[in-house]
Amino acid sequence: MNPWERRQMILETLCLRRHDTYGNLAHEFNVSTGTIRRDIVVLTCSYPIETVNGGHGGVRVAEWFHLDRRSLNSAEITFLRRVGESLDGSDLEMLNRIIATFSH
């Protein structure tokens, strides 16, 4: 795995876990903590990643940030709810799940 691929995987891992330690990431990616620290420095130039000192320290991604996540705006939600008035059963359930998933 090259550095770019590793950094992408670190970012994906942080987006899933929201917080991790340098040591755990180093172990998981089979590199030194120094390599992880350098990777985090590179990632912080493009993504909202923070380092945290102290007993619960490590690396975390901003609470609001999610990779490839799109949210619906209020007009889109209103439109989908109007469409939902003509649905029932499993179709309506699916539409409601879509709205719940993307209306953050």
Q: Which two tokens stand for residue 21?
A: 């330690």
Please give the C-alpha separations between residue 78 and each of 6, 88, 89, 98, in angstroms, as whole numbers.
Answer: 41, 17, 20, 13
Q: What is the pLDDT, as a whole number, of residue 76?
A: 87
Q: What is the pLDDT, as a whole number, of residue 6?
A: 95
Q: What is the pLDDT, as a whole number, of residue 11?
A: 95
Please give the C-alpha separations between residue 54 and each of 25, 57, 59, in angstroms, as whole numbers.
Answer: 17, 5, 11
Q: What is the pLDDT, as a whole number, of residue 73?
A: 76
Q: What is the pLDDT, as a whole number, of residue 104?
A: 60
- Which residue carries 């899933």 as its tokens? 16
Q: What is the pLDDT, as a whole number, of residue 69?
A: 61
- For each successive 10 residues of the chain (104 residues), what is the average pLDDT? 93 94 96 97 96 86 83 85 95 92 75
Instruction: Enumerate domains of the chain plus CATH numbers.
Output: 3-61 (1.10.10.10), 70-104 (no CATH)
